[in-house]
Chain A
Amino acid sequence: MLLHVIRRLGVFVLTVMVASVVVFFLLGVLPGDPARAQLGLQASEEQVQALRQQLGADRPLPVRYLEWVTGFFSGDMGLSYASRTPVAPQVLDALQVSLLLVLGGICVAVLIALPLGILSAVRHHRPDGALFSGLSQLGISVPNFLAGLLLIAVFAVALGWLPSGGWSPPAAGVDFLRHLALPALALGLVNGAILARYTRAAVLEVMREDFMRTARAKGLTPGRTLIRHGLRNALVPVVTVTSIEFANLIIGAVVIETVFVIPGLGSTLIRAVANRDLIMIQSIVMCVVILVLVVNLLVDLVRPVIDPRLRSTR
C-alpha cells in the first residue's frame, strides 16, 4: 500500500515535469508581442524593442524554461509582463477563487445528483423514474452560461434576492455565500445533471450485482439493501466522475466566471492571453495542469479507501 502510494507519487512528479515542458514550449509559440500589447497603440518600435529586452523575452527558449520552471516550483513565478508585479499571488488568488467556486458548484451538483440519480435508478421502470432521468437529460442540454444568465435575470434582477455578480472572499461570511450562491447554482445545475446520469448508471449497475441479491436473501428490505450495500459500491465511479468534473471545471467555469464577473483562473487566463502576459499564461496553465493531475492523484489514492479490492499492491 505504502509502496503503491510512493510509486503513484513518483509517477505524478514525473508527469508534472513532462507537463511543464509541454506547457512551456507549447506556449512559447504564442504570437503577438507582450511588449507591444502592453505599450498600447501609440508606442514606437524602439520603445517596444526596449521593453522586450527588459522583459527578457528575447532570450533563447531553453534558458527561459529553466529559469521559469525552477522559479515556478520555488513559488516565485516571476513578474507579470502586464502588471509588473509578482505572478504568484495573482495566480494563487485566482486559484483560490476558482477552487471555491468550483467546490461550491460541485457541492450543489452532488446535492442534486445523488437524490436524482438514485431515484431515477431505483424507479427506472416507473414513470417518475423516467421523469427524473428526463430532468437530468434536460439539465445537461442547457449551456451553463445560459443557465447563469437566466438565474441572474430571475433571482438577481427580477427578485433582487441575490447579487448579480461579483465576488466576496470567504472571510466576508454571509456576503461570500450570497455571492457564491448563483454561480455555484449555475455550475451545479448543469454538472449535477451530468453527475446524476452517472449516479443513475452506477446505481443501476450495482443493483444488478449478485451481492445485492444476497443481501435481500438475508432479509434486508430493498431500501436498506440499497443504503447498506448499494451506495458505497456505486460511489467508486461517482467519485471518479466527480473528480473529472472538478478538474474540468477549474477552467471550464470560465464562462460562468465571465457571466458573474468572478476573478477566477479562467477569466484571469483570458485576460492574460489578451495581454500576451506569457509568464502569467504559463503559470496559470501549469497550475491547471497540476491541479488536474493532483485531483487524479487524489482520486487514485482515495479509491482504495472506498474499495478494498484496489488496496493490494498492483
Chain B
Amino acid sequence: MSTRKSSPENRSAPQTEEVPPLRRRRRGGGPMILAGSVLVSAVLLMALVSLFWTPQDPTATHAVDRLAGPSADHWLGSDGLGRDIASMLLAGSRVPLLVGLGTVTVGFALGVPFGIIAAMTDRGAGMWLMRGNDILQAFPALLLAIILAAVFGPSTLTAIIALGLGLAPGVARVVRSGTLQVLSREFALAARAAGRGALYLAVRHVLPNIRGILIVQATVGFAIAILAEAALSFLGLGTPPPTASWGRMLQDGQSVLHVAPLTVLWPGLAVAVAVLGFNLLGDGLRDRFDPRMEVAR
C-alpha cells in the first residue's frame, strides 16, 4: 500500500509527481519563443550593424532638408534637425538595449543575492529583510529616476541605476519565493545532510533551479526597461542629446507629430517591436519553465 499525502502546508510546494514546478515537464511556449527570438534578434542585429555601419552619420544635422519625407538620401525621411531617421533608428537601438542590459544587471546584482539571503536566513530576519524590500518597492522606478536625474543629471547611467533599483525589489521577491520553494524540496535538505554549507546550496542547488524564473524575469525586465527608457527620454530625463535613442527620437518627434508623423511612428514601431520581442520571449520561456505566473510582488 502506498499512500500519497498532501497537506495544506505542502500544497504551495507540490511534492507529488503531478506538478513538479521546477521540472520542465511539458515543453510549452514554442511558437512564442520563436517569434520572440526573431524580434529580439532583429533588434540585436540592428544594434550590431549600427556599430559598424549606418547609412549616414546619425548625428549629422542638415537643417536645410529637415522633416523631409523618405527619399534615396533619407530612406525613412529626416527629423527636425535634418538627421537621417534610418541611421538614427539603427544607432538608436543601442541605448534601449544598453539600458535593458544595465537595468537587468543592476536589478539582478542586487535582487538575486538579497532574495536568496532573505530566504536562507531564519524566518525572523528574513521577514525583516523583506519588509525593507517592501519599503524599497514603495519607491516606483520612475520616481527614483526623476530624483536621480535631479541628483546626478539625466543620463543613460542614471536611468539604468534608477530602473535597476526599481527592478531589484521585484526580483528579490520572486527569487525569495523561488528559493524558499527550492529549499523546501528534499534535495536541499539532502545537501545539508551531506554537510554542505549555505554558499554551496545557493550556488549548486538554488541558482540552477531558479534559473527559469530568472530568465523570465530578465526578459520582462528588459521589456520594462525599454519602455521606461522611452518614457524617461520623453520627460527629458533619459539619454541626453546628441546620442541617438528611440526614446529621444520619440521626444523630438512628438512636437512635429502633426507635420511629420513618420518621425514618431518609426521609433514608436521600433520600441514596440523590441518590447514585443522580449515579452513574447519571456512569456514563452515562462510557459516552458514556470507555468504558474509569478505575481510580481
Which residues of A line the B interface, CB within 8 A? 11, 14-15, 18-19, 22, 26-27, 29-32, 137-138, 140-146, 149, 153, 157, 197-198, 201-202, 205, 237, 240-241, 244, 247-248, 250-252, 254-255, 258, 266, 269-270, 273, 276, 281, 285, 288-289, 292-293, 296
Contacts and interface: CB of A to CB of B under 8 A. Distances in A.
A293 B138 contact: yes
Interface string B127-160: 0000110110111101100110111000000000
A296 B293 contact: no
Contacts of B276: 137-138, 140-141
Instruction: Identify the interface centre among B142, B254, B261, B276: most chain A CB within 10 Å of its CB.
Output: B142
A293 B234 CA distance: 28
A141 B297 contact: no
Interface in B211-257: 223, 227, 230-231, 234-235, 250, 254, 257
Given A19-B138, A251-B142, A288-B143, A143 B235 contact: no
Contacts of B140: 247-248, 250-252, 288, 292
B297 A240 contact: yes
A313 B272 CA distance: 46
Nearest to A248: B140
Interface of B: 131-132, 134-135, 137-140, 142-143, 146-147, 149-151, 223, 227, 230-231, 234-235, 250, 254, 257-258, 261, 264, 268, 271-273, 275-276, 279-280, 283, 292-293, 295-297
B142 A254 contact: yes
B147 A198 contact: no
B295 A240 contact: yes
B235 A270 contact: yes
A287 to B, nearest CB: 11
A145 B233 CA distance: 11
Nearest to A144: B231
Contact of A149 (B131, B235, B254): B254
A30 B150 contact: yes
Given A15-B134, A29-B151, A237-B295, A254 B275 contact: no
A202 B279 contact: no
23 contacts: A14-B131, A15-B134, A15-B135, A15-B138, A138-B276, A140-B275, A140-B279, A141-B271, A142-B268, A142-B272, A143-B272, A145-B250, A241-B295, A241-B297, A244-B296, A247-B140, A251-B142, A273-B147, A273-B149, A285-B143, A288-B138, A289-B139, A292-B137
Given A142-B268, A255-B235, A198 B138 contact: no
A157 B258 contact: yes
Contact of A137 (B135, B234, B280): B280
A250 B261 CA distance: 30
Contact of A146 (B132, B268, B283): B268
Interface of A is mostly: helix
A258 B293 contact: no
Contacts of A137: 276, 279-280, 283
B293 A205 contact: yes
A144 B271 CA distance: 11
Contacts of A241: 295-297
Nearest to A276: B150
B293 A141 contact: no
Nearest to B149: A273
B231 A143 contact: yes
Nearest to A153: B257
A255 B234 contact: yes
A251 B268 contact: no
B39 to A, nearest CB: 10
Nearest to A201: B293
A300 to B, nearest CB: 10
A252 to B, nearest CB: 5
A270 B149 CA distance: 10
A276 B272 CA distance: 35
A270 B230 CA distance: 17
Contacts of B134: 15, 293, 296
B295 A143 contact: no
Given A11-B131, A19-B135, A146-B264, A252 B275 contact: no
A251 B137 CA distance: 13
A292 B273 contact: no
B280 A138 contact: no
Contacts of B292: 205
Given A26-B147, A31-B151, A270-B146, A143 B135 contact: no
A142 B272 CA distance: 5
A137 B283 CA distance: 10
Given A137-B279, A140-B279, A145-B234, A22 B293 contact: no
B37 to A, nearest CB: 15
A145 B231 contact: yes
A197 B230 CA distance: 22
A143 B227 contact: yes
